[in-house]
Structure 1
Amino acid sequence: MKASIVAAMAACMVCGGLLVSTVSAQSQSPVVVLDVSKVFKEHIRFKQDLQLMTKDAEAFQAYIQQQEIRVKALLEEQQGSRPGDPVYNRTDEEMTRIRSEVQVQSQLKKKELMMREAKVYFQYYNELQAEVGKFCDAQKISLVIRWNSEPIDQDDRVSVQQGVNNSIVYQRNLDITPLMIEKVNMGVPQPGPDNRNAAIPARPSR
C-alpha cells in the first residue's frame, strides 16, 4: 500500500514536470494563458470562505423571518381595536419599531457582506498573482494573458457572446491554469462531495 502511494506521488510529480516543460518548450514566446475564473471555481479555501458568508446570510434571513412572524402576530392582536385604543397604539408602535430595526439591520448586513466578499476576492486574487509571478520568474515568462477556457454552448446566448469576445482565439500548450489550481490548493484537504461543487458568484469578470 505504501509503495503504491509513493508511486502515485512520483507519477504526479512527473506529470507536473511534463506540463511545466511543455509550456516552456512549446511556447516560442514568453507568453502563457490563465483562466482565472476556473482557478477560483476550484479554489478550496476561497470556496470555504464564501460558504461561511452564505451561512451568515442565511442566519440573518432566518432572523428577518422571525421578525415577520412577530409583526404578523401583532397585526392579529390589533384586529378589533381602533386607533387611539391602548392595544392599537401599543401594537402599532411595536410594529413600527420592528420594521425600522429590520430595515436598518438589513442595510448594515448587506454592506458588511459586500465588504467581506470584496476582501475575500482581494486576498485570494493577490495570492494567485503571487503564485503566477513565482512561476513566471522561474520559467522566464514575461506575459500572462487572461482567457476563458470554457467551451462555447451554442444554445446559450451568453456563452456564445463570451466565446466570440474571448481575447484568445487559439492557443496550444500555453495554459497554466491546472498548475495554478494545484498551487493554490497545495496542502489543503479535499472537501467532501457536498461542498466540492458549491456555487461560486460570477466574479471575477473575465
Structure 2
Amino acid sequence: MKALYLFSIVSLSLAALSNQAMSQEAGPSANSARYGYGVVDVTYIFKHYQRFTTSMDNMKKAMESADGQLKSERDTIAEKEQVRTQYNPGAPEFKQIDEEIARLKAEFQLKAGKIRRDFLEREAQVYYSTYQEVSNAVQYYAQQHNIGMVLRFNGDAIDPNNREDILRAINKPVVFQNNVDITPDILALLNRGGTPGGTLPAASAGGGTLK
C-alpha cells in the first residue's frame, strides 16, 4: 500500500513538472531562441511600461496645473471685456480698457504658446528616451537568447467593422509568428529596471534590433 501511495505521489509530481515544462514551452516567446528571431509589440510596451505611464501621468497633471493658471488669466481678460461694455466706444475709458485687453491677450498668447511648446518638447523627449530604453532592452534580451533579428509587430485584435483596423491588418509586416513574441519578456525586463545590474546597455551604433 505504501509503495502504491509513493508511486502515486511521484506520478503526480512528474505530471506537474511535465505540465509546467509544456506551459513554458508553449509561452509566447518559446520558439524565439530556436528560430533565432522574435517579434515585439512596441505599442503594447508603451501602454504598460510603468516608468513611461508614470511620466505621462505626471506630465498630464502638470498640464492641468498650467491650464489652471491660464484659465485665471482668461477670466481676467473676460472681466476686462465685460467692464469695457459699460462705456461708449468713443469714451477715453473704453479706449484705455481696450488697449489693456489687447496687451493682456498678446501676453496670454505668448505665454500659452510657450507652455504648449515646452510640453510638446518634454513629451517628445519622454517618447524618445522610452524608445531608446525599449531598443536597448530588446538588444540585451536578443544577445542573451541568441536571437539574430527582432521585428516590430502589432498584436492588437482587428475590428472587422473598423476601416483603419482592416487597413492596418493588410499592411502589417508580420502576418504570422509562431511563439516568437518576446513582448512580455521585454516588458518584464523594463519594469524590473533593466538588466540584473539595474541598467540597460546602450544600443551599439547602427546595431538596432527593431525593424
Between the aligned partners of 2:85 and 2:59, the Cα distance in structure 1 is 40
Instruction: Tell me by how many angstroms 1:147 deviates.
Output: 0.3
Instruction: Tell me by how many angstroms 1:91 deviates.
Output: 1.5
1:201 aligns with none
Between the aligned partners of 1:74 and 1:186, the Cα distance in structure 2 is 54
Instruction: Tell me by how many angstroms 1:17 deviates.
Output: 6.8
Aligned amino acid, residue 141 of structure 2? F
In structure 1, runs of 5+ residues without a counterpart are 1-13, 189-205
1:177 aligns with 183
Between the aligned partners of 1:42 and 1:63, the Cα distance in structure 2 is 31
Aligned amino acid, residue 106 of structure 2? S
Percent identity of paired positions between Structure 1 and Structure 2: 27
Equivalent position SS for 2:151:
strand
Asked if residue 137 in structure 1 is aligned to residue 137 in structure 2, the reply is: no
Instruction: Tell me by how many angstroms 1:16 deviates.
Output: 10
How many equivalent pairs are there? Answer: 174
Between the aligned partners of 2:82 and 2:135, the Cα distance in structure 1 is 58
1:115 aligns with 121
Task: Judge conservation of contact 1:23–1:176 (CA < 8 Å) in 2.
Answer: no
Asked if residue 103 in structure 1 is aligned to residue 109 in structure 2, the reply is: yes
Instruction: Tell me by how many angstroms 1:65 deviates.
Output: 2.0
Between the aligned partners of 2:22 and 2:85, the Cα distance in structure 1 is 73
Aligned amino acid, residue 183 of structure 1? L
Aligned amino acid, residue 186 of structure 1? R
1:81 aligns with 87
Between the aligned partners of 2:22 and 2:122, the Cα distance in structure 1 is 37
Equivalent position SS for 2:30:
helix
The structure showing larger relative contact order (alpha-carbon pairs under 8 Å, at least 6 residues apart) is 1
Instruction: Tell me by how many angstroms 1:152 deviates.
Output: 0.6
Between the aligned partners of 1:82 and 1:102, the Cα distance in structure 2 is 26
Task: Judge conservation of contact 1:81–1:88 (CA < 8 Å) in 2.
Answer: yes
Between the aligned partners of 2:141 and 2:62, the Cα distance in structure 1 is 36
Task: Judge conservation of contact 1:74–1:91 (CA < 8 Å) in 2.
Answer: yes
Equivalent position SS for 1:82:
coil
Of residues 77-86 and 125-134 in structure 1, the stretch that sits farther from structure 2 once superposed is 77-86
Asked if residue 127 in structure 1 is aligned to residue 133 in structure 2, the reply is: yes
Matches within 5 A, 1:1-206: 19=27, 22-24=30-32, 27-28=34-35, 30-83=36-89, 85-186=91-192
Instruction: Tell me by how many angstroms 1:100 deviates.
Output: 0.5
Q: Deviations over 1:121-147 (max 9, x none)?
A: 111111111111111111111110000
Q: Assess, with a 3 A threshold, how the Cα gap between structure 1 residues 123 and 21 changes in structure 2: closer, same or farther.
A: closer
Q: Deviations over 1:48-68 (max 9, x none)?
A: 111111112222222222222
Larger Rg: 2
Of residues 35-44 and 60-69 in structure 1, the stretch that sits farther from structure 2 once superposed is 60-69
